Amino acid sequence: MRVSLPAIVAASLLALPATADQVHVFAAASMRNALDAVAADYMAKSGDKVVISYAGSNALARQIIDGAPADIFISANESWMDEVEAAGLIADNLRRDLLQNTLVLVAGDPSVQGPVDATMDLAGMLDGGKLAMALVESVPAGQYGKAALEHLGLWQVAEPSVAQADNVRAALALVATGEAPLGIVYATDAKAEPRVHVVGEFPDNSYPPATYPAALLTESEDEGDRAFFEALSGEAAGAIFAEQGFRVVN
C-alpha cells in the first residue's frame, strides 16, 4: 500500500527563480522544523530572504539534476547527494556533512511500549494495522527503516503491512492522525509531533548512519548564498539543530 500526498509535495517543490537577495534551499522533509528556525534566525540577523522547499531527498535530487533552480541542497543521506555531485552540480567542491539523525519507532497510542529489537512482537503491536514508512526503495528514512527491520529479522513480518508515504513527514502524519498504529521515522520528526510517542530507538548498528550532507550548488549566484551555507555550520544553527534532536557533526 502506498499513501501519497501529491498536493503537499507539489506545493513544496514549486520552482522559484533565484535572485541576488534570496537564498533558495532544497532540504529533506525531516529538517522542516529545525531548518525553519535556523532560517528565521538568519534572516532576522542578515536581512536576506531564505526560501526552503521540503520533500524527500530523492525527489529533490532529481529536481536539481533536471534543472530546478536551487542554491543549497541538504539531503537526508549521502547517496542522493552523490547523484547531484556526479552530475557536476556542486560548486567549488563545497560539500560537507552537517548533521546526523536517529531512527525510531513511533505509535499514536502511548500505551505501546518497546523494546525495539529482534524480540519485538511487531505483528502483535500492529494488530492488523499498517506500519507507516517513507518510500522504502528511494527515500532515506524508508531505506534506513527497511535496513533496520532486515537486520532485526522483522522485514518479512512487516512488509505486508507497510504503508509507504512520499516522505518521512507524510509517514509521521499517518501515525499522528490514527491512520496507522505504528511508523518508522527520525527522532527529530517524533519530537516535532505531539500526537505520537516514541516506542523506542532502533539499534545504531541496524542501519547505515543517517548523515545529512549539505552542498552549495552551481546555481548559487551571490555572497548571500555562500553566507547562509556557512551559517548552517555555525554556532547559532548548531544550537537550534541540537535542540531539535539532531546530532551536529563537528
Q: Is the pLDDT of residue 39 over 80?
A: yes
Please check whether residues 54 and 114 belong to one and the same domain: no
**Same domain? 233 vs 112:** no
10 and 31 co-located in one domain? yes
| Total-model pTM | 0.84
Q: Verify that 108 and 202 share a domain, yes or no.
A: yes
Q: What confidence score (pLDDT) does residue 2 get? A: 53
Domain boundary among 189, 206, 223: 206
CB-neighbour burial class of residue 210 (10 A; exposed 0-12, middle 13-18, buried 19+): buried
- For range 64-92, the mean pLDDT: 95
pLDDT of residue 93: 77
User: Annotated binding site for molybdate, which residues?
Assistant: 30, 57, 141, 168, 186
Q: What residues are designated binding site?
A: 30, 57, 141, 168, 186
User: Could you report the per-residue pLDDT of 161-187, keeping only the tens digit for each?
Assistant: 999 999 999 999 999 999 999 999 999
User: In whole numbers, what is the pLDDT of the chain averaged over residues?
Assistant: 91
Asked if 31 and 54 count as a contact pair (C-beta separation under 8 A), the reply is yes
Owning domain of residue 182: 102-206
pLDDT at position 20 over 50: no
Strand order of the sheet with strand 49-55? 49-55, 22-28, 72-74, 210-217, 90-101, 247-248
Helices 57-65, 78-86: axis angle to 10 degrees equals 0
Secondary structure E strands in the chain? 2-3, 22-28, 49-55, 72-74, 90-101, 103-107, 131-134, 162-165, 182-186, 197-201, 210-217, 247-248
Predicted confidence at residue 1, as pLDDT, reads 54
Sign of CA dihedral 170, 213, 89, 236: positive
Question: 201 and 215: one domain?
Answer: no
Backbone angles phi, psi at 20, to 5 degrees: -65, -30
Confidence of residue 9 (pLDDT cuts 50, 70, 90): very low
Would you say residue 5 has pLDDT above 90?
no
